[in-house]
Amino acid sequence: MNLKTKLNKLVFQNPITTASGTFGSEMEEYVNFNKLGAIVTKTITKERKAGNPSPRLYETEWGLLNSIGLQNPGVESFITETIPLYEKYQTPLIVSFSASTQEEFMEVLSRLESVNSISGYEVNVSCPNVENEGLAFGVDAQVVNELTAKLRKLTKKELIIKLTPNVTNIVDIAIAAKEGGADSLALINTLLGMAIDPMTGKSRIMKKICGYSGSAIKPVALANVYRVAQAIDIPILAMGGAENYLDVLEFIYAGASMVAIGTANFYNPAITEKIISDLSQHFSKYNLTMDKIRGKSF
Ligand SMILES: Cc1cc2nc3c(=O)[nH]c(=O)nc-3n(C[C@H](O)[C@H](O)[C@H](O)COP(=O)(O)O)c2cc1C
């Protein structure tokens, strides 16, 4: 069945990809990577990061809390050790990266530009900006606009800006990214969450306030995707609580061109392939294409 879809510059065989930080090369044991629409890698930074102290994952009744803290090997090791693990697959590779200053974002992108097998970039702007009192880059429309424009000058590849939902008006940030030259937008990154042991008062996560993901956040993610899709005409890579093909259909009706599966990979590492197969059957049965349903919620 024809599940073909695209972002601005990239065409994909189907709309299913992986949410950054929830899916690594070790998943090849469970998933045939050639079946995926695209692969989005864990966010990398210029230097290696050890991540936050444990405990840094906690499963609540309604979703997952995490405070991994961008643990990654750094861009050099990523290029020499990680990228080759994906080069045997045809699936487009989208590399997520982040930094703590605009200059450093540019340095990481310049370095990644030397790698031909990268199809596009997802820019994680949810991390603290040391030049702006440690506020996340993604909460300030002006900063998002400037940063996107600087990165745009460095690459012709698909440039996806990943938005945080922890803002007053996500549409303002989406417009700022588009005007800065983004090809497409990814949303949403995690909400903020916390859990406390009620018997002792101790936080379940060492860093206390952390990222909240999983099926519980799907209605919030859908609302954000729908609002952005209504406001601007730029392709959307949606994520937030999608764990089966019906969830994916909801995101497509809300306006998404691609849907990333995140937390659901922890419950079933083979879930992405199952979703693609279920979606394909559904498209066949009802004679659908992405164009027929994208953004057609009423
Ligand atoms: C354990 C974990 C690690 C994550 N790491 C990253 C990351 O490195 N970069 C990023 O942009 N998002 C990261 N995320 C956020 C996901 O990519 C996604 O935006 C979010 O979890 C919502 O989707 P989901 O509910 O399907 O998981 C992480 C999420 C989890 C649960």
pLDDT tens, position by position, 71-81: 999 999 999 99
Beta strands per DSSP E along the chain: 5-6, 11-12, 16-18, 39-40, 57-60, 63-66, 93-97, 120-124, 158-162, 184-187, 191-193, 210-213, 236-238, 258-261
C-beta of 160 in contact with ligand 1 (< 6 A): no
Q: How far is CA 108 from the centre of its chain?
A: 18
Whether residue 238 is contained in a domain is answered as yes
CA of 19 to the centre of ligand 1 (A): 6
On average, the pLDDT of the chain sits at 97
Considering its fold, how many domains does the chain have in total? 1
Whether residue 277 is contained in a domain is answered as yes
Query: Distance between CA 33 and CA 29 in Å, rounded?
Result: 10
Say what the pTM is: 0.98
Atom of ligand 1 nearest to the CA of 57: 1
Whether residue 203 is contained in a domain is answered as no
pLDDT tens, position by position, 243-252: 999 999 999 9
Kindly indicate the confidence band of residue 273, based on its pLDDT and cuts at 50, 70 and 90: very high
C-beta of 138 in contact with ligand 1 (< 6 A): no
pLDDT confidence of residue 132: 86
Residue ranges of the alpha helices (H) in 181-288? 218-231, 245-254, 264-267, 271-286
Ligand 1 atom 18: residue of nearest CA: 189
Query: Distance between CA 22 and CA 16 in Å, rounded?
Result: 14
- For residue 148, the enclosing domain spans 5-51+73-194+214-293
Q: Which sequence positions are flagged as catalytic?
A: 127
C-beta of 42 in contact with ligand 1 (< 6 A): yes
CATH number, residue 177: 3.20.20.70
Query: Distance between CA 271 and CA 278 in Å, rounded?
Result: 10
CA of 21 to the centre of ligand 1 (A): 5
Span 170-179, average pLDDT: 98
Whether residue 23 is contained in a domain is answered as yes
Span 168-184, average pLDDT: 98
C-beta of 215 in contact with ligand 1 (< 6 A): no
CA of 211 to the centre of ligand 1 (A): 8
CA of 57 to the centre of ligand 1 (A): 12
Atom of ligand 1 nearest to the CA of 72: 8
- Tokens 């090997």 locate to 73
C-beta of 96 in contact with ligand 1 (< 6 A): yes
C-beta of 258 in contact with ligand 1 (< 6 A): no
Whether residue 56 is contained in a domain is answered as no
Whether residue 68 is contained in a domain is answered as no
Query: Distance between CA 52 and CA 58 in Å, rounded?
Result: 14
